[in-house]
Amino acid sequence: MGSPIAFTVVKTKTQSSVEINQNIQFDKVILNDGGGFHVYHGIFSAPVSGYYIFSTSIMHPDTAQSLHAGIMHNGNVIAIAGSTKNIWNQAAQTVVLKVSAADEIWIKNLNYEHVSVYVGSFSTFTGVLLYQL
């Protein structure tokens, strides 16, 4: 097996008024072994093929809009972390995917306009290579 591949990124900067189909940006890189996470785009590009585990946790503030944050794999919605409007809500999802080298995984806003994602490291995105193919 090759070098370890793992990343954890968190949101420390405000991202308000996130539009439908806009990526949720995670601006602080805690770990990026293997160099697969690209902070400027918010996208993980798999360096090697394998089975990966991905997890996201999104803090949504008390606003008039709900939030559906999708874990995306090459443009396909794999799972949705959903939160309700008018309350503080923490939404989370974890998936295991069979991924080919250069496949892309990211988190995006799916359904509601002008949503906010809370800062202060309450929102995270993590991925780990479990087994290389």
> Which domains are delineated in the chain?
6-132 (2.60.120.40)
- Contact between 73 and 43 under an 8 Å Cβ cutoff? The reply is no
- Model confidence at 64, pLDDT cuts 50, 70, 90, reads low
Determine what percent of the chain is predicted with pLDDT higher than 70.
Answer: 98
- Model confidence at 86, pLDDT cuts 50, 70, 90, reads low
- CA-closest candidate to residue 122, choices 14, 30, 11: 11
Q: Which two tokens stand for residue 88?
A: 């503080």
pTM of the model as a whole: 0.93
The answer for 113, left when phi > 0, alpha when psi is -120 to 50, beta otherwise, is beta
Q: Which two tokens stand for residue 109?
A: 């806003």
Q: Containing H/E element for 64? A: none
pLDDT at position 48: 97
Can you tell me the distance from the alpha carbon of 64 to that of 69, in angstroms, rounded to the nearest whole number?
16
